[in-house]
Amino acid sequence: MSRKALIVEDEPVTGGLLAEILRRRGFEPTLLQEGKPAVGWTRQHQPDLILLDLMLPDADGYEICEDLKLDKETNLIPVIMVTARVHHKDKVHGLQVGANQYLTKPFTVDQLNDAINAVFDWREELQRRGAHG
At closest approach, how far in Å is the CB of 105 from Ca ion? 9
Distance CA 75, CA 61 (A): 15
Residue 90 touching Ca ion (CB under 5 A): no
Residue 63 touching Ca ion (CB under 5 A): no
**Burial call 13-24: b when 16+ CB within 10 Å, e when fewer:** ebbebbbebbee
Q: Closer to Ca ion by CB, 44 or 65: give it.
A: 65
Which position among 3, 10, 63, 74 is part of the footprint of Ca ion (CB under 5 A)?
Answer: 10
Q: Closer to Ca ion by CB, 66 or 120: give it.
A: 66
Residues 6+ apart with CB under 8 A from 39: 64, 67, 68, 71, 74
Contact 51, 8 (CB under 8 A): yes
Q: What is the DSSP letter of 1?
A: -
Nearest-CB residue to Ca ion? 55
Radius of gyration of the chain (CA): 14
At closest approach, how far in Å is the CB of 42 from Ca ion? 18
Q: Closer to Ca ion by CB, 42 or 83: give it.
A: 83
Select from 2-10, 21-29, 74-82, 97-105 the region that touches Ca ion (CB under 5 A).
2-10
Interaction mask 28-57, Ca ion, x per CB under 5 A = -------------------------x-x--
C-alpha dihedral (24, 114, 19, 91), degrees to nearest 10: 180
